[in-house]
Structures are given as C-alpha cells and as structure tokens.
A and B are shown apart, each in its own frame.
Chain A
Amino acid sequence: MSKNDSTQSGFKETISGFLKNRLSKINFTANLIIGVVLLLGFVFIGIFAPYITPHDSEEMYYEHLKEMPSAEFLLGTDRYGRDILSRVMMGTRTTLLIASTSTLIALFLGIIFGATSAYFGGRTDNIMMRINDIFMSFPTLIFAMLVIGVLGPSMVNGIIAIGIIYAPRVTRVVRSQALNIVHMEYIDAAKVGGESSFYIIFREMLPNLWPTIIVEGSIRLGYAILLTAGLGYIGLGPPPPTPDWGLMAYSERTYMFETPWPVFAPCLAIVIAVIGVNLFGEGLKDILLAKGSRKKEAKV
C-alpha cells in the first residue's frame, strides 16, 4: 500500500489512512452487510421522508378511519384516518435525529472524560470514575425523566437527556481502552519528548482510540433509539403532532385488540432499526477490534 501524500496529520487523514490500510483486507461478514443495508435504508428514509411518503403524515382521511392495510394505505390508518406508513416514515426522521445527535453528544463527552481520566490516572481517575458511577447508577429511563422533568419536554431536551445518560457509559469504555494505550512506550516517549498533556491525550492517544469509539458509538446508537422510543411512549418525547414511534405506539394502544397494526407498525420499525444498528456494530467490531481471528491462523 502506498501512502505518499500523508504529510499532515489530523482526524481526516487518520481515518482515511486507517481505512486505506484495512479496507482491502476487510472480511465483509453477513452481519455487516445486513447492518449496513438496514441502516442506510433508515437513513435514506429519514432524510427524504417528506418527499417519499405516499400520503401527508398529518392529513386525516375521515372516510378511512382505523382501516386494515390496503393498496392505498399499505399499513392501514389510525383512528384519525392518518396513513400509518407515512407516519412511521416521518417518525424515522425524528427518532434517528434524536438518537444520533444524542449519541454524538455522549461520545463527545465520553471521549473527553474517558481519555483524560485514563491519562492522569491515580486520584484524578478515582474521583472521576466515582462520579461516573453515580451517574451510571440511575436507571436510564428514570434519569431521563428527571432531566426532562427539569428542562421540560422538547426535542432538544430529549437529545440532551439521552446524551447525558449515555456519556458515563461511553466514558467507561473509552477509559478502559485508553488504559491499555496509556502504558505504551510511545506515550512515555511523548512525555519524555516534552509534549503537553493535551497534545498527548488528543493527538497521541485519541487516534488509537477511534476503532473503539466507532464501535461503541454504533452500539450506543441502538440503545439511543430504544430510549428515544421509550421516552416517546411515556410522553416525554417531542410533543404531538410530531410523528414519533414511541408516541404512536402509546396513543394507539387503547385500540390494540381491535386494530393492532397502528401499534405494531412503529414497534416493528423500532425492532428493525435496533437490529440493523446492532448488526452493523457487531460487524464493525469484527473488523476493528478483533484481536486475531477466531481460528488459530499463522500470520504471513
């Protein structure tokens, strides 16, 4: 592999160098392929939802209340006569936006706290981790209710709440990997070389943490989707009429035995999205973090 033009460092080059190094050798597992296809599908729907929905998601068709799936309404209609497929598609947008943004926030905070805590070690590490433990000891949903209760329900507050909830978990994972790196001799070499702590954490350690962070992010995204739906279900998600999977399942549940599809459709979407994200995460893990293959194989 030739790398002639890598004169400057930086996140972009690191990632591209990383991909260039390994992309040709990647073992594309079924997990990864299914995960990527599902995830890309959801992202596509999320982005283009307003243009591709068969109906307007908020239009009420009064002559089509609580209808079974049909050619016109592929997943049927709800009690107000709204097209469920269109609403699920629009809901994809909300859910993905909340879940992915909050995951990014969690990763951002987690990287900073995790890497710093591991780098300084000793008492600093102890104090930071105990605080971390306190945050982690709250059940996620209750903690989310607490945050939203203080801030008031809105999409932005939902994002902040989920971000804060998952940050300590990301911190743990990043820290554990950073602990392996912080004892490497190249970190000692940087210290002897007189580098600042900031430089060592973000320019020497961080590039080696990306594989862990990417995998952790993709797994965390699955949890974030679940939590987003959960918050929507208990009414702490984005307020109606914004289409939201959790809220849809909640508001239609009274009629579940009569017309199950308005509840099942968003639930099915949640299941598929989470499975897709998890398969993607597992696939990435095999590529990025696998320590040697599962079979005993000689390196040549």
Chain B
Amino acid sequence: MKNENSTSPEDTARNASTKTPVLSVSGVDITYYSGAVKFPAIRDISFEIGAGEAFGLVGESGSGKSTVAYAVMQYLASNGEIDSGDIAFSGANLMKMSRKELLGLRGLKISMVPQDPLTSLNPSHRVGDQVAEILKIHYKLNRDEAHKRAVAMLGQVHLPAPELTALKYPHQISGGQQQRVLIAMAFCTNPELLIMDEPTTGLDVTTQARILDLIREMKLKHKTAILYITHDLGVVKNLCDRVAIIYAGEIVEEGDVASLFKSPAHPYTQGLLKCIPKTYTHKTQKKLDAIEGFLPNLADLKPACIFAPRCTFAQEQCHQQAPSFIACGENRRTKCYFTEFDAPDDAEEYENLRASSPSKRVLVKADRLKKVYPTKRGDLRAVDDTSFECKRGEILGIVGESGCGKTTMARCIVGLEDVSDGEISYDGNKIGMVRKRSKEMRRKIQMVFQNPEATLNPQKTIEEIITRPLALYKIVPKAKRHQKAVELLETVNLTERYLSRYPHEISGGEKQRVGIARAFATEPELIILDEPISSLDVSVQAGILNLLIDLQRKHHIAYIFIGHNLSVIRHLCNRVMVVYVGRICEVGTPDDLFEPPYHPYTEALLSAIPVVEPNIEQKEIRLQGIMPNAIDPIPGCAFHTRCPRKIGDVCEKNAPAEVEVKPGHHIACHIPLEELAAVNPVFKYGRRYVF
C-alpha cells in the first residue's frame, strides 16, 4: 500500500503537466466581515490539483483550510467574500457561474465529504434513499434504478450486506459506516473533484485506517482529484500525493509528500513535525518541541512574514518584509527567506522523560471491577471484570477504541460512577462514590477532562475557578489565595493577567492548562487525565504534554492517562493497559507493547497509527467489522469477532487467561506465546530517522 504511494506522485505530476488541472486556485483572497472589522482570512492562495491526484491541505484550527474548501464549492458563509483571484474547475471559472450552473456541478462533478457523519446524514431517511436521491437529481433515474445503483455503490464502499444496510437509518450504523455512506454519496456520480473536510477526524484509528484505504481505492478506480483537508500530518502522509501547509491563511510550503516529510523546508512545517510524538524511537525519548506563541490577529496584519513572531529562525529581514515563494527542490516551494538551516542534530539529546522512578507501593487498585449500565435491551457491561493497579508516582496509560470502557474506568476511580461489582481501593482502603468519600480522600484524587470547551464554567473567572479548591480545602490562608493562584497559573505557563478573564476569552489550549492548574491546586496524589489533548491542535498538544511531564517530575504524583493515540501514550507512560470492550488485552511498558509478542488487538492498533516519520515501514493489519456491543454477552475472548489471528473454537468458547511474558507484561490471548513472539514487528525502520 505504501509502495503504491511512492510511485503515484511521479505519475500524477506527469498527468498534471500535460492536461488542464481539475482544480486550479490562483491568487485567491477571502475576507470575512464582522461588523466594521475585516478579517483577511485567506491571502493569495494558489494551488492546482490534477486528475487522480490527492492534494492535502494541512493546517491547524483557524488557519482557514475549511474556508478554502467552501470557496471552491462557492458556498462561503454569508459574511465572507472572495476579493480577488480565480477558482477554475477543469478550466471553467467557478466564480463567474450562475447559481443554476453551480447546482448542476455540485454533487455531480464536485462532491464533498463533510467532517461529522452523524449531522451530515438526515436522521429520518434511510441511508440507501439518501444515496439514491443524488442519483435521482443528477441522472433523473427512476426510483428502482436509483435504488439499485445506490445499493451497488454501498457495496463498493465495502458496507456489509449493502441491500440491508441501504434500508437502515443513520443511527443504526456505526460512525465508520456512516462515513462510508457519505463517501458512497460523494462517489456515486463519479465526480472529477472530491473535497474532503477532515472526514476521519472523529473516528478511531482502526476505523480511520480502513476509511483511508477506501478513499485510496476509490481514487484509483475513479481517477478523482481529491482536495483533502486535515490537521493530521500522519493521515496526509499515508493518503496524499502532494501537500500544502497552510498557516494563518497563507500557504507556507507546498511539495510532494515524500520529499516534504523527509526534509521540511519551512520552519512551521518543521515545527509541526517535531510536535508529534514519534511512533518509533528507541528506548529513550526526547522532549517535544512545542511551537510557542499564537496565531496572529488577522484584523491587524503587518507587512512581514506571517510566521515570524513564532519562528525561532526569524531574522531582521523576516519582520520587515513578507517573503514570497522560493522554489526548493523539484515541484516544491516555500515562503521563507532561509530554506537551508543548520538544523541542530538533536537526536543525541535524548533523555528519559518518563515518570521518575515510580515507587513500588500500590496507590490505586481495582479488583474485579465491573460497571454495568441498565438499558432497555439488557445490561451494558462497560467495564467487565477487570483488575489493575496504579503505583505511587506512576503514569499508567489506558488505550483502546472509543466505547471500550476506558473513560468509565476512570470515572469509577474518581467516584463519578458507582461500581456495579468488585471494588476500588486507595492506599489499601476501599473507596466508593465521591459523595461518600472523606474530604481528605477527595482532595487526593483529581481529574482533568477531555473537552476544553466544557471543562470550565463559562460564568466564572479563571481566578474564581482556581481559588475555589484552595478555599474548599483550606490549602492556603485566605490572604494568600490570590498569590497561590498566580503561582499555580505560572506552573502551567500562564501569567497573572489570565486571572480576571472568563473562559470564552482564552484559547482551547489555555483552558486545558487552567483545568490542569485546578487539578493541581489541591495538591493531589493522583490525577486522572481523560484524553486531555485529543481535541487540541498538534502544536498545542506538544506544549501540554511537556507540561504534564514537567509537573509529574516535580511533584511525583501518579497519573492515569487515557488516550487513543499510542504514540502519545508511549511518549508519556510508564505502563500501558490496552482495553477492548471493557476487558484488558495486554498490560506492559510502552516498549513491551511496541515489540512482539503482541496481543493481536495491540498489533492492529499499532498498525493503524498514521506515522509521520519517513523511512518507517509499517505492517498493514486492518480490523474488519465493528466492535461488538457490550449488551449481548460475548462468550470467550471479546476480540474473537474481529481478530485476524483467531485460532478456532477455543477463542469463541473460553475467555483467555492472562499469560505472563515477563514480569509486568501480560497478554490475554489463546495463541501460544512463542507464536505471538514470532511475528514480525509492526514497525521496521531503515536508517536513523532524520528530524
């Protein structure tokens, strides 16, 4: 699969040079108006996409990447305007077309796959009818023909039993399947151009990997040009032929994927790549390089390099005049004065960043923990008879797909949910719901939440939020609370100025920092981190991860870190638990997990990680089917329905026992250990990686 990719850029480059490109955007400026204020959201953007080419447009939130997509569809928000430039589709200027002409194009020649599958499908129509509707509009097919074609299309996107799936309503199928339906809708008219706006962002890595395979397959089959918009460099590397990096409304670098990832030229691209925790690094780790600073205020632009205020290489020149594009290599260009840097070879600066020497003493112990939610169809077993422990000063990671029960485990430990069976003990004492715990107990366990937008009360200032635990637990006398709040903010790298602000006045990353400061305010011994970085931009993620590591080393507290990104988990944790449908598949150190023997599920998760490093070979394992629901009892191994290495009846009948690979590394699988150990590693890398 990766090999196909490496050949396609040349092919497409050849195609592109001989024919008119499918989409050509040249010199486009887009301005948003808000009252009297003008925001030049997009400035002088140009790119071309040829037939059969996948073009990635990568940027962080607020960079204007979705604006570009809507501009191409000629469907900008009502307060946005294209000031200058041309957008041409197969040579025809889209901006000069009438509404009627556009209606004929949209859905027929140009299709779009939106980000959120659940809100993009109409919940009260069957999915087959929704695909058929497009065919009826554009091809004037009658009901039966349209339905037949729709079913065939659903089959092409590998939906199981397309005839039956066509009759289902959107809520009856999984998120990944909904996304497949949307892809079927996009491809059913065999469009020349397909715009995809983060189509896999809400999906699990395993599902994402399969959707990307599907997009790649459909692209080859239909010779479609794809504009793929995302913030995820890993996805772009796996899917696209060419890529443009967009920052604050300007493309700062453009080139083919292989060479751009190998030798990023623009400091912003380099920064983005350094922000991402490495999938494959040996034994030790390096602190991530976060990009300092914020996106510039677009209402107040200066004639300078847009990235200069955040650039570590910025010179006098950069602040004086904006650079224009400079070619750097074949088919590559970048907007930077200095394309050759003496990039410091930081490969030598590895240091062990994981929690400093966790103690042997067990802090939290879950013993045969069970949590069931009664539903109309029966009990949903969110956590199914699992036992685990977390030692003092340790960072324990919990990974798994969404819906596997990892958040429920965390909520049981902090006492937001009552356990159905089994018990949780803290320092040897049994603990229950948070209301029934002693005040001292409550102080010791804190939590950092997933969604930065919901984690702070919008009607309270940051000072009220941070001083509240100080007052509740009388951490410091009243007179010193303000001082302490300032100190806490400083530990999360925020300043005193933030105290008087309201949550809506600060960014998502800053909100998450305040959430961390609040958790640390009570001087706890254990903090549960429930996917604290998954909804943040990569450059912000790196900063938060570094902060968490620093704080952990300083205070020697324990973390239970919940995530779905194995690279992040590997970067941070001492020990990792892989969870599937409420049961534990594998426990071990991150290094144990990344090397054989693997639990088949771990192996599949690893192979689904979109890696950004060049020179890495990744084994391709795709999980078929969907996670079984936790209502119907699953006899035997929970993973047997999707396991690519199922050995037979024993998997369906008996639950596997945990096998000890070595002290601290356990795998629950029926496959003999020797066989598990004999597989090839998921990652193989040739030379030492470059950046």
A268-300 vs B: 1/0 string, CB under 8 Å? 000000000000000000000000000111101
Q: Which residue of A lies closest to B452 (CB)?
A: A185
Check B37 against A300 for contact (C-beta < 8 Å).
yes
B409 partner residues in chain A, CB cutoff 8 A: none
Asked if B434 contacts A297 (CB within 8 A), the reply is no
A238 → chain B, closest Cβ, in Å?
40
Q: Which residue of A lies closest to B451 (CB)?
A: A185
Complex contacts, A61 vs chain B, CB 8 Å? none
Q: Give the distance in Å from the alpha carbon of A297 to the alpha carbon of B78 in the complex.
A: 5
Residue interface bits B467-486, CB-to-A below 8 A is 1, else 0:
01100110000000000000
Q: Do the beta carbons of A185 and B455 come within 8 Å of each other?
A: yes
- Contact at B443–A14, with CB atoms within 8 Å? no
Q: Is B375 an interface residue (CB 8 A)?
A: no
Q: Are A192 and B458 in contact (CB under 8 A)?
A: no
Q: Are A192 and B500 in contact (CB under 8 A)?
A: no
* A296 in contact with B78 (CB, 8 Å): yes
The verdict on A186 contacting B39 (CB below 8 Å), with A297-B78, A297-B79 known, is no
Question: Chain A, 188-203, contact with B by CB distance < 8 Å: what is the 0/1 string?
Answer: 1111111101000000
A interface bracket (residues with beta carbon within 8 Å of B): 20 to 34
Q: Are A297 and B459 in contact (CB under 8 A)?
A: no
**B-chain residues with CB within 8 Å of residue A2 when the two chains form the complex:** 500
A216-234 CB contact bits vs B (8 Å, 1 = yes)?
Answer: 0000000000000000000
Interface 1/0 per residue, A166-195 and B, CB below 8 Å: 000000000000000000111011111111
A-B contact count (CB 8 A): 94
Cβ of B343 under 8 Å from chain A: no
Residue on B nearest A9 in the bound complex, by CB: B464
* B interface SS class: mixed
Q: Indicate if the CB atoms of B454 and A185 lie closer than 8 Å.
A: yes
Q: Is B140 an interface residue (CB 8 A)?
A: no
Chain B window 15-43, contacts with chain A (Cβ cutoff 8 Å), 1 for yes, 0 for no:
00000000000000000101001010100
- Chain B residues contacting A14 (CB-CB under 8 Å) are 459
Residues of chain A with a CB closer than 8 A to B464's CB: 9
Cα separation A141 to B320 with both chains bound (whole Å): 75
Cβ-based interface call for B502 (8 A): yes
Q: Say which residue of B77, B450, B451, B505 sits within 8 Å of A297 (CB atoms).
A: B77
Contacts of A295 in B (CB 8 A): 78
Complex interface residues of chain A between 1 and 58 (CB less than 8 A to chain B): 1-4, 6-7, 9, 14, 17-18, 21
Given contacts A188-B449, A193-B472, A194-B443, A300 and B41 within 8 Å (CB-CB): yes
Residues of A within 8 A of B454 (CB): 184-186
Q: Is there a chain B Cβ closer than 8 Å to A154's Cβ?
A: no
Q: Which residues of chain B are within 8 angstroms of A9 by Cβ–Cβ distance? A: 460, 464
With A7-B463, A195-B472 as known contacts, state yes or no: A298 contacts B79, CB within 8 Å.
yes
B457 touches A192 (CB 8 A): no
Nearest chain A CB to B371 CB, angstrom units: 16
Known: A193-B472, A300-B39. Contact between A3 and B461, CB under 8 A?
A: yes
Residues of B with C-beta under 8 A to A208:
457-459
Range class of the B interface residue count: 35 or more
Enumerate chain B residues within 8 angstroms of A239, measured Cβ to Cβ: none
Q: Is the CB of B457 within 8 A of A207?
A: yes
B500 contacts A3, C-beta separation under 8 Å: yes
Chain B CB within 8 A of A204 CB:
yes
**Other-chain contact of A188, B34, B39, B416, B504 (Cβ < 8 Å):** B416
A121 to B77, CA, bound (A): 40
Contacts of A188 in B (CB 8 A): 416, 447, 449
Choose among B449, B451, B459 the residue that contacts A207 (Cβ–Cβ < 8 A). Answer: B459
**Distance to closest chain A CB from B36 (angstroms):** 12
The reply to whether B502 and A21 contact each other, CB–CB distance below 8 Å, is: yes
Of A3, A18, A296, A300, which one neighbours B34 at CB under 8 angstroms?
A: A300
Given A4, A18, A194, which contacts B500 in the complex, CB threshold below 8 Å? A4
A193 and B468 contacting across the interface, CB-CB below 8 Å? yes
Does B155 count as interface, using CB distance less than 8 angstroms? no
Check A194–B434 contact: CB distance below 8 A. yes
Give Cα distance in the complex from A190 to B457, angstroms. Answer: 10
Q: Give a binary string over B403-426; 1 marks a CB under 8 Å from any A CB, 0 the rest.
A: 000000000001110000000000
Residue B67, interface by CB 8 Å = yes
B459 touches A192 (CB 8 A): no
Query: Given contacts A204-B457, A295-B78, are A189 and B37 in contact (CB under 8 A)?
Result: no
Question: Inside 8 A of B435's CB, which chain A residues have their CB?
Answer: 191, 197
Q: Bound state CA distance, A7 and B485, in angstroms?
A: 12
**Judging by beta carbons under 8 Å apart, are B460 and A192 in contact?**
no
Complex formed: what's the CA distance from A197 to B37 in Å? Answer: 44
User: Which A residue's beta carbon lies closest to that of B439?
Assistant: A194
In the complex, the answer to whether B80 meets A17 with C-beta atoms within 8 Å is: no
Contact A186 B457 (CB under 8 A): yes
Do B457 and A298 touch (CB < 8 A)? no
Chain B window 490-509, contacts with chain A (Cβ cutoff 8 Å), 1 for yes, 0 for no: 00000000001110110000
Interface residue? B216 (CB, 8 A)? no
C-alpha spacing A17/B39, complex, angstroms: 27
B149, CB-defined interface residue at 8 Å? no
CB within 8 Å of A: which of B53-112? 67, 76-80
Are B416 and A192 in touch, CB under 8 angstroms?
yes
Which of B642-656 touch A at CB < 8 Å? none
Closest Cβ–Cβ distance, residue A292 to chain B (whole Å): 11
Compute how far the CA of A193 lies from the CA of B515 in the bound complex, rounded to whole angstroms.
12
A185, B458: Cα distance in complex, Å: 11
- Residues of A with C-beta under 8 A to B439: 194
Contact B37 A192 (CB under 8 A): no
Known contacts A186-B455, A208-B458, A296-B78; A191 and B416 CB within 8 A of each other: yes
Q: Find out whether the CB atom of A298 lies under 8 angstroms from the CB atom of B416.
A: no
- Nearest-Cβ distance from residue B342 to partner chain A, whole angstroms: 39
Contact B515 A189 (CB under 8 A): yes
Chain A's closest residue to B463 (CB) is A7
Closest CB in chain A relative to B296 CB, distance in Å: 14
The answer to whether A194 and B442 touch across the interface, beta carbons within 8 angstroms, is yes
Across the interface, do A207 and B460 meet the contact criterion of CB distance under 8 Å? yes
CB of A192 within 8 A of CB of B32, answer no
Q: How far is the CB of A10 from chain B (nearest CB, A)?
A: 10
Which chain B residue has the least Cβ–Cβ distance from A207? B459
List A232-264 residues whose CB lies under 8 Å from chain B: none
Residues of B whose CB lies within 8 Å of any CB of A are 32, 34, 37, 39, 41, 67, 76-80, 298, 414-416, 434-435, 437, 439, 442-443, 445-447, 449-451, 454-461, 463-464, 468-469, 472-473, 500-502, 504-505, 515, 518, 522
30 contacts across the A-B interface (CB closer than 8 A): A3-B461, A3-B500, A3-B501, A3-B502, A17-B459, A17-B502, A188-B447, A189-B449, A189-B518, A191-B416, A191-B434, A192-B414, A192-B445, A193-B472, A193-B518, A193-B522, A194-B442, A194-B473, A195-B468, A197-B435, A204-B457, A207-B459, A207-B460, A208-B458, A296-B77, A298-B32, A298-B67, A298-B80, A300-B32, A300-B39
Known: A4-B500, A17-B502, A207-B457. 5 other contacts (CB 8 A): A3-B501, A21-B504, A186-B455, A188-B449, A208-B457
